Structure 1
């Protein structure tokens, strides 16, 4: 099938990350013939991050699948209402409802230990080096050090900010639950996946399955893409 018949894929990163956190997925998807871009949003504001994703959508040629990790799930929940978005894939991610913020959703569940391993400085929330095992504990030590060194620090009140739009109420969704997550409660992940009616998969991963289990994540993205491609083909027939 030609590139033009495949959906585009836009990756949306979370906290303490940038688009390079999807580096184990992008080359393979490109070899598969997908057009792929990663939003490089600055974690300066929720609205700004959503706008950045929408600008990125303007650079792809086909109806897009948004793939959001962690806080990136909150971003794609708002940005995904854009008519250029065909589907959503959540990777160990938040998915707030219209009356929730990322923080209020998180407060419905017991706190994880990651937030005792951060430091607020210069108006930003920095991940301490001893917090990396809570974030990416199933990566080799060298990769954990790379995660820490390349972290994107969010503005301190980011989780309390809100942007209108709840895309999972109108767009098909897929969800990857990381059962060994120590950053977002796995029960929160199961809750939002069930609430949105997502096609759900579980894996024994830390908070970063796209780095620790890239083949698993690739398989889910391919499943979502196949479903979208079938729908687009039927619509064009």
Structure 2
């Protein structure tokens, strides 16, 4: 192991053949690499037969020949090579920039925080800190204040993500925050000042939301939920989502947005091309107006459920760019 790898003695052992015949005699020698997967064991004193010469070096110095055709590779040589690979990987990992930017997900209407579970699972697996905000779904000003309060409790930079009506919320919650470094809109509204979610939705005559809503409480009809909300979600999952959907309010969709944060914060937009709630053309128009980085995915309105890998990818792209 070269000194540059940063590895240290690990205390585990590897077997080495010490005689010209495999079963003549063996002893265990300590592995000199970090990250060993073999269990530690006690040292066993063993003397080498006087007829055996010094063991050829395995790692050698730069430029030294490692041609050992005269003898077959032993388990020990394989073991040390494996240790070297693991040790180098550990050293590389140690020099990787620390992933300290929090990702905060804000769900929209007719859903709850669990709608982002697929995305959360992938981001946590990659080592990113995550927070799923519980959006009250009461009013734009009240919901934005709730998210602002959450942001104040987080130390360090934040990538703020909104789905659906959650896009209205993050546009207002991030305004004036020095913590929010990027905004990600996943099948979401990007309102300008004075616009409401209903104002924007009215620009898309091919939307179906008005046909499937039930007034008290304001929910999507369970019999229509699968096709309207997430046609590419498995039927059993969509059925559960229909039952557990959070009711909307009559106030939030009609309340005008304040000055949006996307005018000063770098933004990304994931556009589901098969969305029946916020059609593709409307989402692209809003994203272009906000000068957002646009990515498309063949998805319904429920991209966080049906295509969590695409949502994860654009969040990580945003985080890398603003790191």
Q: Secondary structure at the match of 2:159?
A: strand
| 1:127 and 2:220 correspond | yes
Q: Which residue of 1 aligns with 2:149?
A: 55
Write the distance in 1 (CA, Å) between the matches of 2:139 and 2:192.
18
Provide the secondary structure at the position in 1 that maps to 2:132. Answer: strand
Q: How do 1:73-88 and structure 2 match up within 5 A?
A: 73-81=167-175, 82-88=177-183
Tell me which residue corresponds to 2:193: 98
Cα separation, 1, equivalents of 2:309 and 2:260: 29
Return the offset for 1:111. 4.5
Instruction: Say which is worse superposed, 153-162 or 16-25, in terms of deviation.
Output: 153-162
Contact conserved, 1:30 with 1:36, CA < 8 A, in 2?
A: yes
SS at match of 1:54: helix
Q: Give the total of aligned pairs.
A: 226
Deviation, 1:2, is: 5.4
Corresponding residue number in structure 2 for 1:12: 106
Whole-angstrom CA distance in 2 between matches of 1:131 and 1:14: 18
Q: Does residue 69 of the first structure (1) align with residue 143 of the second (2)?
A: no
Q: Deviations over 1:98-154 (max 9, x none)?
A: 121111122222141122111111xx3111112211111111111101211210111
TM-score by length of 2: 0.67
Distance, in Å, in 2 between the alignment partners of 1:165 and 1:39 is 22
Match of 1:151 in 2: 245
Unaligned runs of 5+ in 2: 1-95
Q: 2:289 aligns with which of 192, 195, 220?
A: 195
Change in Cα spacing, 1:61 to 1:27, as seen in structure 2 (3 Å) is farther
Q: Whose Rg is larger? A: 2
1:234 match: none
Question: Aligned partners of 2:108, 2:255: CA distance in 1, in Å?
Answer: 15
More helix by share: 1
The 8 Å contact of residues 144 and 169 in structure 2, kept in 1 or not, is answered as yes
User: Tell me, what secondary structure is at the counterpart of 1:219?
Assistant: helix
Other structure's SS at 1:184 match: coil
TM-score (norm 1): 0.91
Q: Cα RMSD over matched residues? A: 1.4
The corresponding residue for 2:230 is 136
Partner of 2:213: 118
Structure 2 distance, partners of 1:60, 1:28, is 21
Task: Tell me the distance in 2 between the aligned counterparts of 1:164 and 1:83.
Answer: 18
Out of 96-105 and 17-26, give the one that drifted further: 96-105
1:2, 1:152 → 2: CA distance? 39
Structure 1 counterpart SS, 2:161:
strand
In structure 2, C-alpha distance between the alignment counterparts of 1:92 and 1:31, rounded to whole Å = 24
